[in-house]
Amino acid sequence: MKKHSITIAGGGSTFTPGIVLMLLDNLEKLPIDQIKFFDNDEDRQKTIAGACRIILKEKAPDIRFTETTDPEEAFSDIDFVMAHIRSGKYAMREKDEKIPLKHGVVGQETCGPGGMAYGMRSIGDVLQLVDYMEKYSPEAWFLNYSNPAAIVAEATRKLRPNSKILNICDMPIGIEELMASAIGLESRKEMEVDYYGLNHFGWWTGIRDKEGNDLLPRIREHVSKFGYVTEDQSLQHADESWNNTFAKAKDIQALDPSTVPNTYLKYYFYPDYEVAHSNPEKTRANEVMEGREKFVFGECRKIIEKGTAAESALHIDEHASYIVDLARAIAYNTKERMLLIVENNGAISNFEPTAMVEVPCIVGSNGPEPLVQGEIPRFQKGLMEQQVAVEKLVVEAWHEKSSQKLWQALTLSRIVPSAQVAKDILEDLQEANKGYWPELS
């Protein structure tokens, strides 16, 4: 099997060590010649790269390793870019979450005003990475999971229509692991699913085992009682806020008991509850900085100091193995069935053809072939039409440098109660994002 070269863009990400360990655990499925880290923050990347260099030396000394902030070095002679950048880092995530809350509106990383602010920062940065890849390795594929994936995916569709980009999210995979556990399966891989929606905005309509037996009724029953909370303690998220989210799925599912939902719908269906249960002084960004970021960087520093990863508490991001599945599907034409964010183009037959939707696809060397999900009901169609218009308006606002369109996007969001509140939030977000957003007029 050919050995592949991979660039991880956002080398300084908290997810990078888990992904490197996951890649090393899957070398028989996806042999690797070299791994390169690219980040625009040399200092942040240094700690993660220093530890990963030691991990690689100990576990797979034949893999060549480079860390760089130079685009030419990073993007030359590669087969895949795995992109997980966070434009503006946690400092800006904190503002995305806290500014809307100050106005009594949900403050969330990818949903509502926070997601739009993050999108306005991410679009240019992700497109720049795509351009680097195309300049230095025109045959390579860009696997993007940088957020907000819905807005980034729409930007890549509109502004880089011919580029080899696959947009993917791990939320359905994480939820499917919980579903599998809820009904006593070993793994989500024993299930085949039908699903439709937008990123962080979708529903499962069919779940079968590999013999075709219907598993959805048992899963629906579990979710209607417990959400995605399961008895298996090992699947509990380390942070309480995530477990609350998994429990809240029960109330989301009540809106359409024939399906099971993506957990992110809670921000759209229960925004008042979310605001009431939020602390405007301490949001998820603070939890992540005090939790995952401290842990990962602390462990990396320990590895560097000791010169060995032998006793490290860093763990494989096993659920991220979908990234290997995706790369394998492209590299070896495996025809893997995976949920991807792709142009609708009839997959949802009664929905906007140019919308970026999340649906099952068969993935092979030529990219994804979306599987038709047919007509969707009025309730979901109405919600999705509103949300996709928000996402498209944000991309238009970025492209046309239009504050008018961004105000329209904010006003159209289900989460924002009025045009006045939208305008107030816009003013604050614009001020906070100086230097990150294009100059709007």
Ligand X SMILES: O=P(O)(O)OC[C@H]1O[C@H](O[C@H]2[C@H](O)[C@@H](O)[C@@H](O)O[C@@H]2CO)[C@H](O)[C@@H](O)[C@@H]1O
Q: Is 368 helix (H, G, I), strand (E, B) or coil?
A: strand
- Using CB under 6 A, which of the segments 164-172, 228-236, 256-264, 346-354 binds ligand NAD? 164-172
- Using CB under 5 A, which of the segments 9-17, 167-175, 216-224, 237-245 binds Mn ion? 167-175
Q: Is residue 39 within the footprint of ligand NAD (CB under 6 A)?
A: yes
Rounded CA-CA distance 139/130 in Å is 12
Rounded CA-CA distance 231/251 in Å is 19
Closest CA to 87 of 147, 42, 145, 151: 147
Active site (annotated) includes residue 264: yes
**Shortest Cβ 264–ligand X spacing (Å):** 8
Q: Which residues bind ligand X (CB under 6 A)?
A: 147, 169-171, 174, 284, 288, 319
Number of residues in contact with ligand NAD under rule CB under 6 A: 25
Amino acid 411 reads T
Q: Which residue number, 149 or 215, has a Cβ lying nearer to ligand NAD?
A: 149
Q: Is residue 85 within the footprint of ligand NAD (CB under 6 A)?
A: yes
DSSP label at residue 189: G
Amino acid 212 reads G
DSSP 265-295: GHHHH-HHHHHHT-BTTB-HHHHHIIIIIHH
Q: Is residue 169 within the footprint of Mn ion (CB under 5 A)?
A: yes
142, 145, 195, 228: which one contacts ligand NAD (CB under 6 A)? Answer: 145
Q: Which residue number, 71 or 197, has a Cβ lying nearer to Mn ion?
A: 197
Q: Are 204 and 216 in contact (CB under 8 A)?
A: yes
Rounded CA-CA distance 328/363 in Å is 9
Q: Which residue number, 142 or 407, has a Cβ lying nearer to Mn ion?
A: 142
Q: Is residue 66 within the footprint of ligand NAD (CB under 6 A)?
A: no
Considering only residues 123 to 142 of the shown chain, the ones binding ligand NAD according to CB under 6 A are: 125
Considering only residues 170 to 199 of the shown chain, the ones binding ligand NAD according to CB under 6 A are: 170-171
Q: Is residue 41 within the footprint of ligand NAD (CB under 6 A)?
A: yes
Q: Is residue 115 within the footprint of ligand NAD (CB under 6 A)?
A: no
**Shortest Cβ 175–Mn ion spacing (Å):** 11
* Residue 62 exposed, middle or buried by CB count within 10 Å (0-12, 13-18, 19+): exposed
Closest CA to 130 of 103, 100, 167: 167
Q: Which residue number, 216 or 265, has a Cβ lying nearer to ligand NAD?
A: 265
Q: Is residue 55 within the footprint of ligand NAD (CB under 6 A)?
A: no
**Is 292 annotated in some ligand binding site?**
no
- Using CB under 6 A, which of the segments 21-29, 86-94, 264-272, 379-387 binds ligand NAD? 86-94
Contacts 24+ apart (CB under 8 A), 430-433: 430/403, 432/92, 432/95, 432/99, 432/117, 433/88, 433/92, 433/95, 433/117, 433/120, 433/121
**Is 93 annotated in some ligand binding site?**
yes
Which of the following is catalytic: 145, 195, 264, 268? Answer: 264
Beta-bridge partners for 363: 336, 368
Q: Which residue number, 144 or 312, has a Cβ lying nearer to Mn ion?
A: 144
Q: Is residue 171 within the footprint of Mn ion (CB under 5 A)?
A: yes
Beta-bridge partners for 279: 282
**Shortest Cβ 260–ligand X spacing (Å):** 15
Q: Is residue 15 within the footprint of ligand NAD (CB under 6 A)?
A: yes
DSSP 372-441: P-B---HHHHHHHHHHHHHHHHHHHHHHHT-HHHHHHHHHHSTT---HHHHHHHHHHHHHHTTTTSPPP-
Report residue 328 as tokens: 């394998």
Q: Which residue number, 95 or 284, has a Cβ lying nearer to ligand X?
A: 284
Which of the following is catalytic: 25, 33, 170, 239? Answer: 170
Element (H, E) at 217: helix 216-226
**Shortest Cβ 29–ligand NAD spacing (Å):** 21
Beta strands 165-167 and 141-144, pairing class: parallel
Q: Which residues bind ligand NAD (CB under 6 A)?
A: 9-10, 12-15, 38-41, 44, 84-87, 89-90, 125, 145-147, 149, 169-171
Q: Which residues bind Mn ion (CB under 5 A)?
A: 169, 171
Name the residues annotated as catalytic. 170, 264
Which residues carry a binding-site annotation for substrate? 93, 147, 284
